[in-house]
Structure 1
C-alpha cells in the first residue's frame, strides 16, 4: 500500500502525540491481541504471565511500538528500517505473517481509544495504510 505525502504527514504528526505514551499503548495493543486472538499466545509461551497487565506483555508491547517509531522515523524507507526485524520474525521466531495484520488491527483500536476525537477517519486511514505497509515489510522475508 502506497502512502501519500499527506498520509506520511498525518502518521508523523500523530506519532508525536503517541510517542510519550508508546510503551503504555504498545502494551495495551499487545494485550488486546492476546485476548482477542488467543491463537497468538503460542508465540509468547515463554512468558510467565499472559494477562493484559503482565510486565512481560507490557515490555514487549513497548518494543513493538519502539519498532513502529523507528518505521515512522524512516517513513520513506520502512523496508530497510525493519529488515532485521523481518528476518528475526521469519527465520528465528517463525511468526505466521497473518499475526502482523492482527496486531495492526488491535493497534488501530488502541490508538482510537487513546486519541479519541483526534483519531479522525483521515488519521485512521493513514495509520491503517502505514500499519499495512509495516505488516507487508515484516512479511517480506517469508517469500
Structure 2
C-alpha cells in the first residue's frame, strides 16, 4: 500500500497546520487514547497520566514529532521509522494493536481541531497514511 500523489499532498498540506499545535495535539491524542482504551496505560506505569501532566505532554510531543518525521520522509517511511519500530518491538515490547488505536485517536483529534480541513478526502488520506505508519511500526514483530 502506498499513498497517491494527491494523498501525499493532502497529508503534507495539513501537517503544516498540525505542526503549529503539535504539543497540544499530541497531549490530546494520548488523553483520548488512555480514556478510550485504558488497557494502553499498562505501558506507562511510571507516568503521571492525569490530564495535562508534564509527562503526558512530553510524550505527546514525542509522538507527534515522530508523525512529523514520517510526514517529512513520506516517500521513504520505512527507512525513517526503522529505529522507532525496533524500539517498540524489541525494547518496549508494545502490543502492536496500540499503534492502530493511537492512529484512530490522532484522527479524531485532527477532526476535532480542524473541522473545516478534515474533509472526507483528508480523512481518507490521513487514515491511509497512519495505516502505513502503523504497519511499518509493527513489521519488526513478525
TM-score, structure 1 normalization:
0.97
Q: Is this contact kept in 2: 1:29–1:107, CA < 8 A?
A: yes
Q: Name the CA distance, whole Å, in 2 between partners of 1:131 and 1:23.
A: 18
Runs of 4+ in 1 over 4 A off after TM superposition: none
Aligned residue number for residue 61 of structure 2:
62
The 5 A counterparts of 1:20-99 are 20-47=20-47, 49-99=48-98
Structure 2: which 5+ runs fail to align?
none
Q: How far does the alpha carbon of each residue in 1:14-41 deviate from its partner, in whole angstroms, 9 at most, with x for none?
A: 0001101011101110111011000001
Q: Name the CA distance, whole Å, in 2 between partners of 1:74 and 1:106.
A: 22
Q: Is this contact kept in 2: 1:32–1:52, CA < 8 A?
A: no
Structure 1: which 5+ runs fail to align?
none
SS of residue matched to 2:115: helix
Q: Name the CA distance, whole Å, in 1 between partners of 2:109 and 2:57.
A: 14
SS of residue matched to 1:117: coil
Q: How far does the alpha carbon of each residue in 1:60-119 deviate from its partner, in whole angstroms, 9 at most, with x for none?
A: 010000000000000001110010000000000000000000000000000001111111
Q: Name the CA distance, whole Å, in 2 between partners of 1:17 and 1:43.
A: 30
Q: Name the CA distance, whole Å, in 1 between partners of 2:50 and 2:139.
A: 30
Q: Name the CA distance, whole Å, in 2 between partners of 1:131 and 1:54.
A: 26
Number of aligned positions between the proteins:
142
Q: Name the CA distance, whole Å, in 1 between partners of 2:54 and 2:16.
A: 25
- Alpha-carbon offset, residue 51 of structure 1: 1.7
Aligned residue number for residue 9 of structure 2:
9
